[in-house]
Amino acid sequence: MQQLRAESGTNVYAGLKSGLDAVEADRATSILLVTDGVANEGIVDPKEFHKLLQQYDVRVFGFLMGNNENWPLMRLIAETSGGFYAPVSNDDDIIGQILLAKSKITGEALHDAKLEIRGVKISDATDEVIGKIYRGQQLVIFGRYAKGGPANVTLRAKLTGKDETYTTTFDFPEVSTQHPELERMWALDRIEQAVMKETVGLLPPEESESAIRNLGVQYQLVTDYTSMVVLADDVFERRGIARNNQQRIAVERAAQAQRTTLGPQNNQVDPSQPMFRGRSSGLRGGGAIDPILALLALLTVLVIARVRP
């Protein structure tokens, strides 16, 4: 490493391929990639990165640095290989971040994970590809549902080749206004999925642009195809601009004020909900929750808190 010297630009493909060429077939291998992801030399087509990584059984764990980081490329690299990526600011401890990644690499991971929700009709969920769930990783899935009610939530996965199943039940509320910001978070995740599908060639650019523009306008999100314009109230009226997001903003402010007034206890999980059932016994001695089941608990809370449109 000490013999390497910086040259003209950033050739991410060549650097990644050099690491892959050193992979030994009889060893489980992971690669740590620290970069801004801005590939400006050599092969820069994301589809070629996708093809390259499909040839190897290796996980890439990426760390994005800089203000102009190329997150679509890094996400493609990480998801194609079954790894993950995280943004790192200039003030973060990069060594500490790498040590956290090491703890995930050296621990057993759930793989081939799939989430099933029965009893409530779910649509537009962001769980198309879950893949692996690493130790300490939070699995977040957004979605919509048309009508509330009781539902069975099941997480199926493999652990060291053995099938594992974790289940619970939860009552989806008809309407929830406690976390209205989840609407925008769902829309942002859908936008990122559209970008990824376009990047790997699964979605035509014109369809991706249309989907991103529509979501950006509907949910007030700044994207490559939408901008935020700040105007006085009278200017909106004078120019005939519809205030389609005015009600959403009012709900968000009311929910924020309520959380501030009630404090953290307002966001806690309802202890009256039934505990998880599956291979594990749920609660263990001393009341400690199994880590994997706690992961599913967080997942369940995030899914059911989705505000129904």
The CATH code of the domain that includes 93 is: 3.40.50.410
User: In this structure, is residue 4 part of a structural domain?
Assistant: no
* 3: in domain: no
- State pTM to two decimals: 0.65
Asked whether residue 60 is assigned to any structural domain, the reply reads yes
The residue to which tokens 């009341």 are assigned: 287
Q: Which amino acid is at 15?
A: G
Residue 5 lies in a domain: no
Same domain? 64 vs 165 = no
Kindly state whether residue 73 falls inside one of the protein's structural domains: yes
Q: Pick the last residue of a domain from 76, 105, 134.
A: 105
Q: How far apart are CA 221 and CA 140, in angstroms?
A: 20
214 with 195, same domain: the answer is yes
Strand ranges (DSSP E) for 125-161? Answer: 131-133, 144-145, 149-159
Is there a single domain that holds both residue 139 and residue 279?
A: yes
- Within-domain flag for 307: yes
Q: Is residue 199 part of a domain?
A: yes
* Residue 6: inside a domain: no
Domain that holds residue 29: 12-105
Task: Indicate whether 75 and 215 sit together in one domain.
Answer: no
| 157 and 57 within one domain | no
pLDDT at 291: 34
DSSP at 139: P
Check whether residue 152 and residue 219 sit in a common domain: yes
Q: Are residues 180 and 262 in the same domain?
A: yes
Residues 49 and 127 in one domain: no
**How much is the pLDDT for 207?**
93
Residues 173 and 84 in one domain: no
Last residue of a domain, one of 105, 123, 138: 105
Specify whether 75 is located in the same domain as 140.
no
- Total domains in the chain come to 2
Cβ atoms of 233 and 168 within 8 Å: the answer is no
| Helix 71-81 vs helix 182-199: crossing angle, to nearest 10 | 80
pLDDT at 255: 77
Structure tokens at 124: 């537009």
Please tell me whether residues 70 and 117 are part of one structural domain.
no
- Backbone dihedral region for residue 7 (phi beyond 0: left; psi -120 to 50: alpha; all else: beta): beta
Crossing angle for the helix pair 182-199 and 205-218, to the nearest 10 degrees: 170
Residue 101 tokens read as 């990644």
3-state secondary structure of 133: strand
Pick from 256, 261, 187, 253: nearest CA to 218 = 187
Does residue 179 sit in the same domain as residue 119? yes
**What distance in Å separates the CA atoms of residue 155 and residue 168, rounded to the nearest whole number?**
9
Note down pLDDT in tens along the chain; length 309 residues.
Answer: 677 777 777 888 888 888 888 887 777 778 888 887 788 888 888 888 888 888 887 888 888 887 677 888 888 888 888 788 888 876 667 777 777 777 777 777 787 888 888 999 888 887 766 777 877 777 788 888 888 899 998 988 888 778 989 898 888 888 877 778 888 889 998 998 898 888 888 889 999 999 999 999 888 888 989 888 888 888 888 888 877 777 777 877 887 777 777 665 444 444 443 333 333 322 232 333 333 333 333 343 343 333 334
